[in-house]
Every structure is written in structure tokens, then in C-alpha cells.
């Protein structure tokens, strides 16, 4: 009956089973709703963090590095670290403010997502979708459940990555785009490996999945993963083989054929090449416990 | 004019500036839409991962560990690792399936979120909100932008934590609840420290923020953070002082008063107690570069 079912795989995700040290993570510091009872302003100050301002009711006006910005409801403005910022809004105005830092564990320095000095790109006009996201954030923030903190954190990540997807490409910092591209490529490669763990996969087939020629795909892999696709795929399978050797009763021959190696000899030779050990010695270590 | 503004802090977030090794992270493996063209079934198999099934059209029926479950549209079912699962659905049925693992870097073993053998709690009936979350996931999965992977990952985290908030408390594993409570307490404490970095904060005031007596708050801090609240707050301030000493031109006296220490003598003494070094020696190391 199984064949009567069509499975549309929506997606396979980020490098399975472990975080990647080049993953970009926004760390949220605070979110606020600011209401001006009367005309009100905030004096000039230098930002240490990113701040996103979303005009909810009436106008919001400010100076960033001495340039003037004027928002109407549903407009969004990005203030960056190091910016000098001062603002003013009329009585009855209301805006949302979200402050965060960007981190990438694999990088020593902080990363910027916005192209510096690209004044136009600080503003997104008529972003209705953000109003819904903000309402969600506000409604969840009332919850006293301990899990609510985690939920808010997820909603804010959604907010950040929605913003990145909405910004025009030329507004994004080149280094940021490069990291996003590389982590995204890496995670797609590992997702492909994962879904073909029990089958074989030629270089041509891998290229086709990525819509690239074998040569182009191979070049990108070497550049981003630091090794050829077939070597990376073998490494991925052998990591799983180690788990099967250590944690299950499957014979070496069964493992070799489960992981779609041509034969046990080929499996053992590849294993020795990577680990300088035979599969049998891993199994023996286990049995020795 | 500043005083004419009311700021409603929606929330301050997870431990600022760094990830916490006890944070719980769902790692998503795949999401699919499954459509049954004719009556169709999937034979009995043992799960290695969590799978969430959400009935979108017509019925979905299955056996988990030999117990029968029947879903109608908008019902949601949780299948856990180690479960034996087999299913059947009528022609025209459609369901969403999401597979993931749970990780917590600070724990060696994997964690479970569902109370084991609590059969009733595997099913949530009439969960309309999940239909919207799934639609969002499906629409974003079409995007070819490299950032779309990050966005999907955020949407799926939102899905997972929404599920946790929707489940009745008794459905959740005790150990899981304990980790969520501890990480949430920890992050709230550090958020409080962060927003009082430039002021002082008595034990009574801290307790009030948490709605606890000083004694109860102090006890919880010692248990979860491993030190008293005032010691943890001093440590937090001194980490920031190190940054100011190394990366700015502020004088030691300015730093001491900026961080609301009673006086420079008290600041230096506290600093020596924590680091076995004087603030001056940190500054000298910097100048020596």
C-alpha cells in the first residue's frame, strides 16, 4: 500500500544532529512597546547594539548620523552598532523596538548584516507582515510558562530572518551574505548525505540535486567543506558506521551493506584510510568494556 | 521630553551575549506533506526520532506500541523515539509530518519531552493554530534564498515551543520541565542583571522582581546558579568592567562609578577578590600591547 502515497518533502534542515560553529545567531536583548503620551524625544546617543524600530501608530522621526528618517505606520528602520541616534515623535505615537546582537561562534569579531553607509537600505516601507509578528511576540510575552522564554526567542529569530529575507540583496553586507550562503550550502549538503545514508550517490547525482554540473558542485564543496564531495560523504557514512559498531549488534558485513558500500572489503579499506583502525578494532573496544 | 514616553518592556531575553549549554534545542531533520492517493499504509517500524503528525484532510489512523489512535483534521499526534509505529489512511487523506531530535549541549544523553507511557498525552485535539504554522513553513520552503534555511529553522523552533506551551503540564517529562525551568530562571536572572548593570540592586529588590522573598530567591539562585545573587551580580558587573578596562579609555574611577560600585576602593577590592589581580594591571596589560 505504501506506493499509493505521495510524499512531498518540504525540506530537510540545517546540518542534522549538531550545531555548526559558523551558524549565525541573533541574541535578543530586549523588546519594548514605546508610547508617547505627549510629544517626546530621546537625546543623541551612540548605539552599542542593533535596534529595529517599527512604527505602529502615527509618525516616528529621527536622526541617524545626522541624516533624517521619517516613518509612518508599518515602516521599519534599522539602527546599527556605532550609529549616533536621536529621535522625536508626536503625542499619541507608538512604536515597537527590538534590540539584539549578532553572533557567529566560529568568528572572533562581531558580524554586521547591513551594508555600511547604505542610507536608503535602513528603511523598509509598508511591511505589514511585521505587524503580525510583533502582535505574536506581544501576546506570548504575557505568558508565565517557563517555556514562554524559548517560544519568544523562536519568534524573534523568525522576525530577524524574515527581515533578512525582505531586505533587498544589495542592502546586505557581503561578508554576512557569504556566511549565510556557506552555512546554507553546508547544511544542504549534509541534509543530502543524511537522506542518502543507506544508498550510494554519484557525483553527477549530487550535482543534479544542487542544479550544478559535477565540476561546479565539486569545486564548491572543496571550497566550502574543505574536501571533495565523495570524501565528505564517506566521512559522513563512516561516522554513522562507528555508531553502529559501538552501539549495536550488527555485523561488520551488515553495516557495510546497510551503508551501501560496494562490499565489506571496500568498507574496511575506506574505514582504515579515515581512522587508521579497522572496523573490527572499534567493535572489539566495545566488547572489551 | 523623555519623560513623556511610556516604555512597556515586553521582555528581556535569554542569557544575553552568549548561548547557555543547558539550552534545549530541537534539531529538525525533515518536514513533509504526505498525500494518500488511494487507501495507503506504512508498515510497522521503530522510530529513532520524534515525529509530529498533523491531520490536514480526512482521517489518519495508526498503532503506536499496539495502541490505536485516530485523528481527524486539526488533530496532532506525537510519536517518540523507540516507539513502534504503523499507520493507515483513506484515499484523499493528507497529513503533515515533522521529524526532529532534542538536544541539550550540557547533557550527555538525549532528552525526552513527553511523559513516557502517558498515552492520552500523545494527542492534541483541534489545534487550529498549528495549521497556520504549517502553512507558513510550507510557503517559506519554496524560497530559494540562502537565508530561507535559517527562517525555516526559526519557524520550526516556533512550532516546537508552541507545542510545548499547548501541551498540558502533566504531559511533559519531569526532567525536561526541570531543565526548562532552570534555563528560564537563569536567563531571567541575567536579563535582570543586564538591565541593572549601571545601578545597584538589593537582594530584596531582586526578590521583588521575581515575586519571591529574599530568602526564597537567594535559595533558588544558589541552587541554580551555584552562587549567591549578589556574588553573581558582582561577577556579571566585573566581566563588563574587564571589557571597559581593556577596550576603552575610561578611568578606573569612572568605571567604578559607572557600574554603581559604592566607591573606587570597594570596586578594586571586589575586583581583586574575583580575579586575584588589580583593575590597574588589566589596564596596564592593555597599554602594554
Domains delineated in chain B: 25-172 (2.60.120.280), 196-289 (1.10.10.60)
| Contact yes or no for A13 and B188 at CB 8 A | no
Minimum CA–CA partner of A172 in chain B: B147
Query: Which of B24, B179, B195 lies closest to B103 in space, CA to CA?
Result: B24
Residue A205's CB: how many other CB atoms inside 10 A? 13
Local confidence band at A17 (pLDDT 50, 70, 90 cut-offs): very low
Lowest-pLDDT choice from A14-23, A100-109, A175-184, A260-269: A14-23
Does B32 contact A7 at a Cβ distance shorter than 8 Å?
yes
The answer to whether the CB atoms of B7 and A33 lie below 8 A apart is yes
**pLDDT for the residue B10:** 57
What is the nearest CA distance from A165 to chain B, expressed in angstroms?
6
Distance CA B94, CA B100 (A): 20
Is residue A5 pLDDT above 70, yes or no? Answer: no
Give buried/exposed letters for B32-42 (b at 16+ CB in 10 A, else e).
bbbbbeeebbe
User: Is the Cβ pair A4, B35 closer than 8 Å?
Assistant: no
Residues of A in contact with B18 (CB under 8 A): 27, 103
Chain A interface mutation, best of B32, B88, B150, highest count of A Cβ atoms under 10 Å: B150
Distance CA B263, CA B242 (A): 17
pLDDT recorded at residue A75: 96
What residues does B88 pair with on adjacent strands?
A: B41, B61
Q: Half-sphere exposure of residue B36, counting CA atoms within 13 Å on the CB side?
A: 23
Q: Confidence band (pLDDT; 50, 70, 90) for A125?
A: very high
pLDDT band at A1 (very low <50, low <70, confident <90, very high): very low
Quick: pLDDT tens for A188-211.
888 888 888 889 999 999 999 888
pLDDT at B17: 43
What gap in Å lies between CA B43 and CA B84, rounded to an integer? 10
Q: For residue A95, is pLDDT > 80?
A: yes
Regions of chain B short of the pLDDT cut 50 = 1-2, 12-18
Specify the DSSP element, H or E, that contains B3: none
Amino acid at each position: 500500500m505504501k506506493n499509493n502515497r505521495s510524499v512531498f518533502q518540504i525540506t530537510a534542515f540545517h546540518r542534522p544532529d549538531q550545531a555548526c560553529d559558523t551558524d549565525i545567531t541573533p541574541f535578543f536583548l530586549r523588546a519594548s512597546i514605546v508610547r508617547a503620551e505627549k510629544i517626546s524625544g530621546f537625546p543623541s546617543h551612540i548605539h552599542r547594539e542593533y535596534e529595529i524600530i517599527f512604527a505602529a501608530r502615527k509618525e516616528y522621526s529621527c536622526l541617524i548620523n545626522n541624516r533624517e528618517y521619517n516613518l509612518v505606520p508599518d515602516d521599519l528602520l534599522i539602527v546599527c552598532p556605532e550609529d549616533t541616534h536621536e529621535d522625536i515623535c508626536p503625542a499619541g505615537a507608538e512604536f515597537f523596538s527590538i534590540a539584539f546582537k549578532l553572533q557567529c561562534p566560529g568568528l572572533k569579531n562581531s558580524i554586521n548584516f547591513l551594508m555600511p553607509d547604505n542610507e536608503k537600505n535602513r528603511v523598509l516601507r509598508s511591511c505589514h507582515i511585521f505587524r503580525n509578528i510583533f502582535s505574536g511576540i506581544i501576546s506570548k510575552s504575557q505568558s508565565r510558562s517557563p517555556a514562554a522564554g524559548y517560544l519568544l526567542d523562536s519568534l524573534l529569530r523568525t522576525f530577524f530572518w524574515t527581515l533578512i529575507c525582505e531586505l533587498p540583496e544589495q542592502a546586505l553586507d557581503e561578508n554576512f551574505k557569504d556566511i549565510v550562503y556557506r552555512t546554507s550550502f553546508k547544511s544542504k549538503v549534509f541534509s543530502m548525505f543524511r537522506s542518502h545514508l543507506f544508498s550510494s550517490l554519484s557525483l553527477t547525482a549530487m550535482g543534479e540535486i544542487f542544479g550544478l554540473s559535477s565540476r561546479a558542485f565539486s569545486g564548491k564543496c572543496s571550497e566550502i567543506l574543505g574536501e571533495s564531495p565523495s570524501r565528505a560523504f564517506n566521512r559522513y557514512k563512516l561516522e554513522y558506521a562507528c555508531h553502529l559498531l559501538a552501539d549495536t549488534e550488527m555485523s561488520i558485513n551488515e553495516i557495510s551493506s546497510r551503508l551501501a558500500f560496494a562490499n565489506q572489503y571496500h568498507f574496511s579499506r575506506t574505514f582504515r584510510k579515515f581512522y587508521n583502525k579497522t572496523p573490527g578494532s572499534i567493535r572489539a573496544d566495545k566488547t572489551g568494556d
